[in-house]
Amino acid sequence: MTHAVSTWVSTPTPRVSHHFGFLRRLLETRLAGAGLVISAIVVLCALAAPLLAPYDPNEQDYLALRDPPSAAHVLGTDDIGRDVLSRIIFGSRVSLEVGLFAVAIAIAAGVSLGLVAGYAGGLADDVIMRLHIWPNVTAPIVVQATLLMGTAIVTEAALSFLGVGVQPPTPSWGAMLRTGSQYLEVAPWIGMASGAAIFLTVLAFNFVGDGLRRALDPRLASRRRQ
């Protein structure tokens, strides 16, 4: 009896074993772990921006115009004395919101139209076919959603850079990059900080997407082990 109980406790359930196997395959992909860490940091900044930002992102200090990085302002200030770090932190909210909304709309419309158009028929047949199909399309959808997040963030940044995206004074990485491009010679930190935020976030989502693609496709995982 004791041996049976100990064996049951030490043997992981199939569901737990499956989750560990998925995580192991995900982390086997080069730089996927780094992508997850960076993505988690960006999400944390978006959720806890008021707690993490040292200043109000729209607060202007006319005695600290274009101040270089210092103890008071870790990433310096912009052209009207706003703290760059605080605007970077709050700007993560805009980028993630745009990315999530764009991905949600694209996937909802695409999946619905694809299922209806591809398998139009009787009600019973439609329901049954959707229940064989859904597990098979889940992996590509998850991967595509992750990659689309990066595309949406770049698109929002490009529109804000051109002045047709998020309007001031709302913090936006693209708008900050646009402002920074005008002061590259005298205050390069304004543009460098926002550009680095865009680059690292998009790169992180692409790393995660590549890791998910390999983790969710057993053929790629087995090929990697060979």
- Is 0.75 surpassed by the pTM of this model? no
pLDDT at 16 over 70: no
**Residue 53: which of 92, 93, 89 has the closest Cα?**
89
Is residue 99, in this structure, part of any structural domain at all?
yes
Maximum Cα–Cα distance across the chain: 77
Is residue 34, in this structure, part of any structural domain at all?
yes
Instruction: Tally the domains of the chain.
Output: 1
Average pLDDT, the chain: 77
Is residue 132, in this structure, part of any structural domain at all?
yes
Is residue 5, in this structure, part of any structural domain at all?
no
Is residue 175, in this structure, part of any structural domain at all?
yes
Is residue 37, in this structure, part of any structural domain at all?
yes
pLDDT at 217 over 50: yes
pLDDT of residue 94: 86
More confident residue, 206 or 111: 206
For residue 121, the SS3 value is: coil
DSSP state of 185: T
Tens-digit pLDDT profile for residues 114-170: 666 666 666 645 665 665 666 666 677 777 777 788 888 888 888 888 888 777 788
- Report the run of H or E that residue 74 belongs to, with start and end: none
Taking the C-alpha atoms of residue 181 and residue 9, their distance in angstroms, rounded to an integer, is: 60
pLDDT band with cut points at 50, 70 and 90 for residue 20? low
Tokens of 177: 């990059």
Angle at 29 between CA 23 and CA 34, to 5 degrees: 85
pLDDT of residue 9: 44
Is residue 137, in this structure, part of any structural domain at all?
yes
- Quote the domain boundaries for residue 25: 17-225
Task: Reduce the secondary structure of 1-63 to three states and give it as a string.
Answer: CHHHHHHHHHCCCHHHHHHHHHHHHHHHCCCHHHHHHHHHHHHHHHHCHHHHCCCCCCCCCCC
| Contacts (Cβ under 8 Å, ≥6 apart) of 119 | 125, 126, 129, 130, 133
Is residue 26, in this structure, part of any structural domain at all?
yes
